[in-house]
Structure 1
Amino acid sequence: MLGPIRESSVRSLPDWAMIATAVLASAVAIQLMTELWELTLAYAGALIVFIVVLRSAMKRAPDDAEAKLAAPDWSVTVAAIERPDVATVITERSGKVVCANSRYGEWFGFYNIPPQLALDEDSQERLARTAREAWRKGEASTDALVGTSGRWHAVLRRAGRGQNYLVWELAPVETVDLAARLVRQLDDKLGRALGIAGIHAVAVSANGEILGTNGEFARRAAGEIPANLVGREFVEYLTADEYDRIFYAREGTSGDDLRLIHLPIVDPDIIDQKQSGEPPVLFLIIEGGLSSGNSAALPEIESLLALLPLGLAMTDREGRFLFANKAFRRAAGLETHGEIPPYPSDLVVREDKGALADSIRRHAAGTPSSGAMPVRLHSTPDDPVALSLAGVRGLGEAAVLLSLKDTTEETRLKRQVAQATKMQAVGQLAGGVAHDFNNVLTAIIGYCDLMLLRHAPGDSDYDDIQQIKANSNRAASLTRQLLAFSRQQTLRPQVLQLPDIVSEVSALLKRLIGEKIRLEVKHDRALGAVRADPQQLEQVIVNLAVNARDAMLSQGDSGTLTISTRKVSARDVRALKNEILPPGNYTALIVEDTGEGIPADNIGKIFEPFYSTKETGKGTGLGLSTVYGIVKQSDGFIFAESEPGQGARFTVYLPVHVPVPGEIVTQAKIETEPRAAFGGTGRILLVEDEDTVRAVAERALVRQGYTVTAASDGEEGLEVIRAGGEFDLIISDVVMPTMDGPAMAREIRKIKPDLPILFMSGYAEEQLRREIDIASMYFLPKPFSVAQIGEKVAGVLGAARG
């Protein structure tokens, strides 16, 4: 770098010599002309100042050029993110768009700033939440974003040298194209099978263009291969005579007349078909025309419809049933081979009879058309189904084609998914309530302990304070049950056999259920081992047994409680057709009783916390919710089945544990410490955002001889350390606003790598193990007493000092 600079300086010397000579000459000339030294000096000084300013500007020019060269070249980034199938846009923290690829501009517009894109309101809110999560965690994604031009899947990632940019990738979600699928099938075995049966099939778009045909139609209509007909007008290949009989145009009226069956290709999952536009149409063409009064074609049509998996039926012009295939009978709740009622309106509830009869008469009397209407069947009056109607012509007595989809299984799966989603939401709410309530109980129990230090047994207030503390401890046990339901309690899983757990708890169960209820235990052979907490599994069995006992005693003084274990293979799971239970090998625990059963209206609510059908004062409503939480936290599943008056059956599915060769069971990173004497000395930094909890903990530790510095949040605690504060231990809450405990601890470890940290939280220790990876970390569960925090701190300091 020195060479070029010196060379530039040398090259500039003649230029500066010439400038100096010119300045001197001009000054001498002015002096000779004016003979005024003041004017000459003023002129020379002004000229020198101008030259100095000019030189400074020339020096800054290269620096400005270098700054421009150092600016980001977004054109390179645009070239890197250019993809034909994904819309990519990069934004700053302020939300400003810095660059985007061409797909983003084509699909959303370059001037639209995410998340305010062409999406519905719910999708925009979810995309905004995903953006906040991506800024916080570094990456996030969301599905099923609904826009005006389709559905989208979004992936967001932080990027850049300072992680100051957010990269948005939005990819379209493919939807099922029923028309394209049908076209492929017409060109495959289905089309050939229809051709062998003498049926010509052609799929036609809404504007009348051919989408695809089977070979028989292509041969008869045009004498060409099916591929050559795609895109041509369907009506070009048909003609009609004065009697409105239809013929192939290639054969003319001398050929066989044709019958056309018109079937709209609609997606049964789209409720509002009007929003999806005019659907394509499948035409089935059969040779041999009939007069309007001839019904000889009906047996052929029945044979065709009987083979289709769709629920199809036909009525005459008076609205009477002519035919219904097996799928229609099954969807309508009729016997497969039994008699069908005279009219379709006989299948629906009384309120829908008139509307259905009017709709059938309208389709039978008017021009050929199609439509759909929601109806409620007698077999499932609470679940409306979609009944499609299409007017047909040229089929003799047949006038209206009815289509009914069997939604029984779909409705059941929707209920299961909705129940699982609701339980997840209730679990999150219960966990948050338990965490906040633990803070309140910590303050109550702590103040009770501090008051008890000033009162001796026998004082008038001593018993009252003890009663407050006892009730607080009882409330703490309820919060532990809520944490169990929300899957946030501490588990110590082991590989075990379910029959061993049942055997250990059987003696206790006999005392719990009493002598008048008989206990039966059954076990399958060759059961797979499971990985779970044995104590928590015992709690599951006991809670289910107690509920079964109460159900049986409510209707008498006897009954039978059956506990069994069963081997469930992946084939058995598939046979269950349960959308919630993924295929795999399980060991099932089944608890059955002979009680009064669970009403259908209540079975979807029994696992919710505080829901109970018992009388007031005879249950908290947390027994089954605790069972649910333990099972889900053990990666299992639980289902309840019941028929009123026939008892209830609870089935717990636990996945079979598959040991990995060389598997090492990792121990918890949260260390345990030996119990130490109560009280001690040391400097402690206490970080807690709840004022009452911070005050109780500070007073408790000061009374025991410690020097305590309090901070109200993570940022304040970090500033105390950065300011040079020396401490022997940090006590911190986990969840705090702005900067939480783990984030603060990681920053402090960069300054004080060996400083021990004691976390206190109302959440589970097991959850901390998964989310926090910090050495020399300890845990104190909330709520805690004055004695407990004192013993814990003394133990941690004793372990740290060796």
Structure 2
Amino acid sequence: MATLPLSSPGKRTRSVMPLLAAGLTGFVATGMVLITLGDRALAVGFLAATLLMAGGLIAARRMFGAPEAQAPVIDWSVAHALAAASEDALAVTDRAGRLVCANERYAALFDGYPTPPGLPVGEAAAQALNLAGRAAWRDGEGRSDAIDVSGAPVTAQVARVGEDMLVWRFVGVQALDLARTVQTLIGSQTGDRLGSAGIMAALITPEGRVRSANRVLRARAMGREDAAIEGRDFTRFLITDSAGQVRFEREGMGGTPLRVLQIPFLDAEDAPMLVALLDEETGAVNVPAIGGSASAHVRSLISLLPLGMALVDRDGRFVHMNDAFVRATRVNAAAPPLYPGDLVVREDKSALADAVRKFAGGAAHSMDMAVRLADSPEEPVAISLAGARGLGDAAVLISLKDSGEEGKLKRQVAQATKMQAVGQLAGGVAHDFNNILTAIIGHCDLMLMRHSPGDSDYDDIQQIRANSNRAASLTRQLLAFSRQQTLRPQVLQLPDVISEVSNLLKRLLGETVKLEVKHGRNLGPVRADPGQLEQVVVNLAVNARDAMVAADPIGGGTLTIETAAVTAADVRQMDEDVLPVGDYTALRISDTGTGIPPDVLPKIFEPFFTTKEVGKGTGLGLSTVYGIIKQSGGFIFAESEMGKGTAFTIYLPVHAAAEATKAAAPVKEKSTDTWGTGTILVVEDEDMVRAVAERALSRQGYTVLTAENGEAALELLEGCDRPDLLVSDVVMPMMDGPTMARQVRERYPDIPILFMSGYAEEQLRKSIDLDNVAFLPKPFSVQQLAEAARETLAAK
């Protein structure tokens, strides 16, 4: 490991240089431990021990009066040992941009000790490294992905240690080493042994250039075994006839047809490709087996690859599986499967067996198919099948294409896309349903005004109104899931919300379930709708109660509600891709119930998904929780272990202190008097809603004008006096409400406006660029409409 001396200290600072040197070494060692081993306790121990030793040395020097020494040479032995133990390339630079130390892998990767970010890489990669270094100085860490080093992708991770050092870590060197190993093997005696068995091998760059080739391929492609083939375009050596058969261009159409096998042994789009060329056996399906030693070399080559691959014989039995295939399919090493069908669920066995027989019988083209493994039937994986001729007893090559983090990420994106699509559908349905409910509730209110309690029709009308309100609650749940609910956020403390809802929870949980509440210290304020946040707690608590009662009807269980402060440093340690770095206040609700099965856990936030019996749940409880938390800017995660219980953790961002300390606006008391005078223009495209609004406002003493859309409203205003209030729907065909209102404001700048809509106010505010407008969410009652009109007129 290379170590460069730091600059010499001045005379006034020589007495404290040992402490500074030890501290600097301790900080770098601490960073090395954190980055390499990920152990915070061990890192703190390194730092404390180093500073303690340095303090002891200074105390001893002053006590015994030792003469001043020359500038100390920093001992980097601890950092050297940690860096040497890492499989990644590591380097340390100081605040002045000087290279302090680097390990041998770094020197091997960059052919020496260049100082980052000025590394021998492309211009774009160098710029990305420079930005990562700046981010590390500013935020404590930086990152640059897919840096091309010798044809292989390498990821750079930069971390600030203390205030004066940067640790540069280059991940993916192992893949580069593997590419170099394969390149060396092809050009060595191993490549010659493959060539003696008739296997022509080459390593190709992502641009299609040859990096290495064995001698038999050089001879067939260029006519000489010692021909310089490196850097040549590989496709120029091949031609294809009308039947799709591949031959060497040098041998012409009369040459032997070739089978081309592409083996992506590195999992990256811009990684080099291993290509094997085999002579096609013409005139017969069955081909003689190649020599045992050559077959062993092929299996050894497959075993080196990190991509899951397996060889199957003509009878459909496994011949060989590499380690990556065994890990991905969770094969039992003590009792390995005989056939590929043994790995998949029953429904996929016949399709996979047919595909294997097809390629064992001589099918010329490869194919991809999705199967579900027996051990994880909920997560389908993609496999590729191709015929394997000239590989001894092997007849079919099976490779897994979806066995790593890429497949997991694809499934997560698909799940998020599905949730987004369902949310948009739910929001649209809820909007249309709110218009219908507004008309039903409004007509019920108007009919109740003509009937008194005790009337034969009064109870029936009340029942219709009650059921309509239940339906309105259902639409609010749909809007909450689709994040289109109208929220009234406030700056609040989570313990206050928990305190408000605790009495209700004790009644809901019953006598068999124990409630425990634990609050952390230094909790930051959050901005959320307190009513909706209480609904989140209640929904999670009720689900937990059902799970615990199901597990133990007599003993019940314990529901624990905890709050805690989560700092940005804590989030970085969590290494959670979904949760952005920042300060949060966390709410954790855990139970001791039965737990959630692993195959059910990914679906719990989907609307209408429930494991309860018919009639005992709508499947909207957790979807409502999910929508409220996401609309409030927070995040929710679920953890569960069968037989031990489930925990939901909610992270709400800490509200800015400057805004949190602002004085709250005084709450105006609502007036019980809804009567008024004046002219109101109602613009609504739904006839039934417009009719209810007209009759409701007319009963309160107003003169009401109506229009079915924005254009009709503007025409109506041309022939009448200025109205006292404009009540308009937001979303309408032809001309929407905000566009119409802007034109009305040009004519009457001070006219008050009341918008009504079945969509969320927060969503619509983005399209309403007008001041002094009120909002009334649908569905609303006659009383709510009258109160909103009176308040809007009074506020002008």
Partner of residue 698, structure 2 = 702
Does the 8 Å contact 1:203/1:210 carry over to 2? Answer: no
Per-residue deviation at 1:679?
A: 1.7
* Selected match of 1:438 from 427, 434, 437: 434
Partner of residue 422, structure 1 = 418
CA distance in 2, matches of 1:359, 1:699: 70
Does the 8 Å contact 1:294/1:397 carry over to 2? Answer: no
Does the 8 Å contact 2:204/2:212 carry over to 1? Answer: no
Partner of residue 674, structure 2 = 678
Pair 584,397 (structure 1): closer, same or farther in 2 beyond 3 Å: farther
CA distance in 2, matches of 1:195, 1:429: 53
* Selected match of 1:744 from 740, 745, 754: 740
In the alignment, does 2:683 pair up with 1:687?
yes
In the alignment, does 2:194 pair up with 1:196?
no
Pair 267,566 (structure 1): closer, same or farther in 2 beyond 3 Å: farther
Alpha-carbon displacement from aligned partner over 1:331-378 (angstroms, at most 9, x marks no partner):
22215x656345545434567667767866776786998665655543
* Selected match of 1:224 from 223, 228, 245: 228
Q: Give the secondary structure class of the aligned counterpart of 2:795.
A: helix
Partner of residue 98, structure 1 = none
Does the 8 Å contact 2:520/2:565 carry over to 1? Answer: yes
Pair 435,379 (structure 1): closer, same or farther in 2 beyond 3 Å: closer
Per-residue deviation at 1:221?
A: 3.3
* Selected match of 1:310 from 307, 311, 324: 307
Per-residue deviation at 1:399?
A: 5.9
CA distance in 1, matches of 2:615, 2:356: 57
Pair 401,770 (structure 1): closer, same or farther in 2 beyond 3 Å: closer
Partner of residue 769, structure 1 = 765
Unaligned runs of 5+ in 1: 1-175, 236-248, 250-259, 271-278, 286-290
Per-residue deviation at 1:512?
A: 2.2
Per-residue deviation at 1:779?
A: 2.3
CA RMSD across the alignment = 4.9
Partner of residue 631, structure 1 = 629
Alpha-carbon displacement from aligned partner over 1:128-183 (angstroms, at most 9, x marks no partner):
xxxxxxxxxxxxxxxxxxxxxxxxxxxxxxxxxxxxxxxxxxxxxxxx9x9x9789
Alpha-carbon displacement from aligned partner over 1:482-516 (angstroms, at most 9, x marks no partner):
33233222323345554554455444423321231
Alpha-carbon displacement from aligned partner over 1:564-584 (angstroms, at most 9, x marks no partner):
456778898899898766676
Pair 456,344 (structure 1): closer, same or farther in 2 beyond 3 Å: closer
Alpha-carbon displacement from aligned partner over 1:432-459 (angstroms, at most 9, x marks no partner):
3333333333333333333344344454
In the alignment, does 2:747 pair up with 1:754?
no
Partner of residue 211, structure 2 = 213
What is the aligned-residue identity percentage? Answer: 58
Partner of residue 328, structure 1 = 325
Pair 601,773 (structure 1): closer, same or farther in 2 beyond 3 Å: same
Does the 8 Å contact 1:569/1:586 carry over to 2? Answer: yes
Name the TM-score, length of structure 1 as normaliser.
Answer: 0.60
Pair 773,284 (structure 1): closer, same or farther in 2 beyond 3 Å: same
* Selected match of 2:709 from 709, 713, 730: 713
Partner of residue 131, structure 1 = none
Once the two structures are superposed, the pairs formed by residues 282-301 of structure 1 within 5 Å of their partners are: 282-283=275-276, 294-297=291-294, 300-301=297-298
* Selected match of 1:514 from 510, 513, 518: 510
Q: Give the secondary structure class of the aligned counterpart of 1:535.
A: helix
The amino acid of 2:487's aligned partner reads: L
Task: Out of 220-229 and 416-425, give the one that drifted further.
Answer: 220-229
* Selected match of 1:488 from 484, 487, 492: 484
CA distance in 1, matches of 2:232, 2:405: 42
The amino acid of 2:740's aligned partner reads: M
* Selected match of 2:592 from 577, 591, 594: 594
Alpha-carbon displacement from aligned partner over 1:577-611 (angstroms, at most 9, x marks no partner):
98766676655433333334446676565444455
Once the two structures are superposed, the pairs formed by residues 176-191 of structure 1 within 5 Å of their partners are: none
In the alignment, does 2:723 pair up with 1:727?
yes
CA distance in 2, matches of 1:606, 1:722: 55
Q: Give the secondary structure class of the aligned counterpart of 1:538.
A: helix
CA distance in 2, matches of 1:546, 1:302: 57
Q: Give the secondary structure class of the aligned counterpart of 1:546.
A: helix
Pair 317,568 (structure 1): closer, same or farther in 2 beyond 3 Å: farther
Does the 8 Å contact 2:266/2:305 carry over to 1? Answer: no
The amino acid of 2:754's aligned partner reads: L
Partner of residue 60, structure 2 = none
Q: Give the secondary structure class of the aligned counterpart of 1:420.
A: helix
CA distance in 2, matches of 1:434, 1:365: 56
The amino acid of 1:388's aligned partner reads: L
CA distance in 1, matches of 2:550, 2:231: 72
CA distance in 1, matches of 2:510, 2:429: 36
Alpha-carbon displacement from aligned partner over 1:603-634 (angstroms, at most 9, x marks no partner):
56544445554456555544323212201211
Q: Give the secondary structure class of the aligned counterpart of 1:227.
A: coil
CA distance in 2, matches of 1:282, 1:314: 17
CA distance in 2, matches of 1:510, 1:281: 65
CA distance in 2, matches of 1:308, 1:346: 23
Pair 534,364 (structure 1): closer, same or farther in 2 beyond 3 Å: same
Does the 8 Å contact 2:491/2:655 carry over to 1? Answer: no
Unaligned runs of 5+ in 2: 1-145, 155-172, 192-200, 240-249, 251-257, 279-287
Per-residue deviation at 1:192?
A: 4.0
Does the 8 Å contact 1:676/1:795 carry over to 2? Answer: no
Pair 189,478 (structure 1): closer, same or farther in 2 beyond 3 Å: closer
Larger radius of gyration: 1
CA distance in 1, matches of 2:763, 2:299: 62
Partner of residue 386, structure 1 = 383
The amino acid of 2:706's aligned partner reads: A
Partner of residue 114, structure 2 = none
Q: Give the secondary structure class of the aligned counterpart of 2:231.
A: helix
Partner of residue 47, structure 1 = none
Name the TM-score, length of structure 2 as normaliser.
Answer: 0.61
CA distance in 2, matches of 1:618, 1:371: 46
Per-residue deviation at 1:717?
A: 0.7
Does the 8 Å contact 1:331/1:405 carry over to 2? Answer: no
Partner of residue 134, structure 1 = none
The amino acid of 1:561's aligned partner reads: L
The amino acid of 2:679's aligned partner reads: R
Per-residue deviation at 1:329?
A: 0.4
Pair 427,324 (structure 1): closer, same or farther in 2 beyond 3 Å: closer
CA distance in 2, matches of 1:798, 1:733: 21
Pair 233,511 (structure 1): closer, same or farther in 2 beyond 3 Å: same
CA distance in 1, matches of 2:313, 2:537: 60
The amino acid of 1:772's aligned partner reads: I
Pair 499,334 (structure 1): closer, same or farther in 2 beyond 3 Å: farther
CA distance in 1, matches of 2:454, 2:367: 84
Per-residue deviation at 1:309?
A: 0.9
Does the 8 Å contact 1:264/1:281 carry over to 2? Answer: yes
Does the 8 Å contact 1:202/1:210 carry over to 2? Answer: no
Q: Give the secondary structure class of the aligned counterpart of 1:554.
A: helix
Does the 8 Å contact 1:427/1:485 carry over to 2? Answer: yes
CA distance in 1, matches of 2:376, 2:261: 27
Alpha-carbon displacement from aligned partner over 1:268-297 (angstroms, at most 9, x marks no partner):
999xxxxxxxx9971389xxxxx9674234
* Selected match of 1:476 from 472, 477, 484: 472
CA distance in 1, matches of 2:346, 2:776: 64
Alpha-carbon displacement from aligned partner over 1:173-206 (angstroms, at most 9, x marks no partner):
xxx9x9x978999x9866543343325552589x
CA distance in 2, matches of 1:775, 1:425: 33
Per-residue deviation at 1:740?
A: 1.6
